[in-house]
Structure 1
Amino acid sequence: MSQERTPLLSVRNLVVNYGAIKALQGLDLDVYAGEIVAVIGANGAGKSTLMNAVMGSVPRAGGEVFLEGRSLPTKSFQVVTSGVSISPEGRKVFAPLTTYENLRMGAFPQKSETDIQGDLRKVYDLFPRLEERKDQYAGTLSGGEQQMLAIGRALMARPRVLLLDEPSLGLAPIIIKEIFKELKRVNQEMGLTILIVEQNAKQALMLSHRAYVIQTGHLLMEGPSQELLHNPEIEAAYLGGKKR
């Protein structure tokens, strides 16, 4: 990706504190249009804090987030209407609502019923099980189906950038493979830009074009995902390999 273009999503000198704990300490990150960018790191590195700060779910103590050069609002609903939506960690579907109602909730920025119905069709084509279970309460869906629903709900907002926070968490390998296959399809066929935070570093690096490695709120390393996938230090720290 050309570094001369304006990033679609840009994080500059981002600082987030939880009381005396410095969760993010001056983090910089860029995501260009059409990319899948991964953020990997150990538990407590600040990955989910980054996503929540972008979405306005936690206050920023410093720094800014930009969407195509314009400062992104700090209130979550304004972030979504600006063009950034999230499939959150733990899925957070609306359990008492049906699958269909959850998807409709995600479409709140949209005004045209024709557009909403068209977007529903796209989500159902992506995840056919959601159509099969459209009248089923979300709280009774399997973990994999809830993850599909969380992603589908985020897509209903027609985002320019889709954030994915730990989409493989608690899922069986066969379900993870299915979901990641569809994420790649969304990127390739629809050109959707994706920023993914993922504990499963290997899956994230295999899916993404570029990646950032963060450690205790600091940027440790960045580069093309295929290079990081075969980096001895990354292998040893995050991929279960041995130091060479």
Structure 2
Amino acid sequence: MASCFVSAQTINGSVYDSISTLENIKITNLSSKQMTSSDVNGRFSIAGKIGDTLHASSLFYNEQKLVLKDYHFHESVVIELKQIFNNLDEVQLITPHKETLADIETVQVTLKNQFAEDRKNNPHLYSKQPTTGGIDIIQVIGLIAKLFENKDKYVAPPFVAITLQDLEALIETSQLFDKKLLTNTLNIHEDNINLFLQYLEAKTIDSELLKENKEVYLLEIFIKSGEDFKQLVDTFNAKNKQ
């Protein structure tokens, strides 16, 4: 036992994903059972020796193991983690085409040009018709133009994602989205409420769903996300018990 401590040295390293450094990643020396976590800059330090296995784990990332070699003690260890994606993240939403103001104006210009060309080539068809019968083509053109002018001009609101602060305020003030919903209905442990809210924030939910008439859609997201979150927590806990 004494020889193990004599040969143990400090390992310095950093944890990243594909975007940036990672904070609060659990680093465990599986050989000595010593544990630490990465700081705000993704850095960590832990004691180890050649042949020890370091284990990096987090709720939202696939675990990574590293067997220590001699050169690891002479340079900074770099551990890269890959994020866990659930089925919801793989769904691609296809937005149906909405007719824009530019589309409507293009059609109007095209129609007017076509009518102007036809009127030039067939002036007799556009002479004023007697009041006793016939169709006033000029009037028809005017009616068609008004149809386009009066068409609803839909402008989509800019997308703004719900923030962690929005979610915290919602839990504090809403009679529906309160802590009882999280703990009793969704079975989120009280110690994991803040982590669950961070999980929701990472899903970039449209802030439009915070409106009262959209509560049912937001509730559906809460329920589905609660199920996915519990699966992640259970998987994480099961791996740590091994």
TM bin, normalised by shorter chain, reads under 0.3
**Greater share of residues in strand:** 1
**Greater share of residues in helix:** 2
TM-score by length of 2: 0.18
Q: Which has the higher contact order (CA 8 A, sep 6+)?
A: 1
Q: Which has the larger radius of gyration?
A: 2
TM-score by length of 1: 0.18
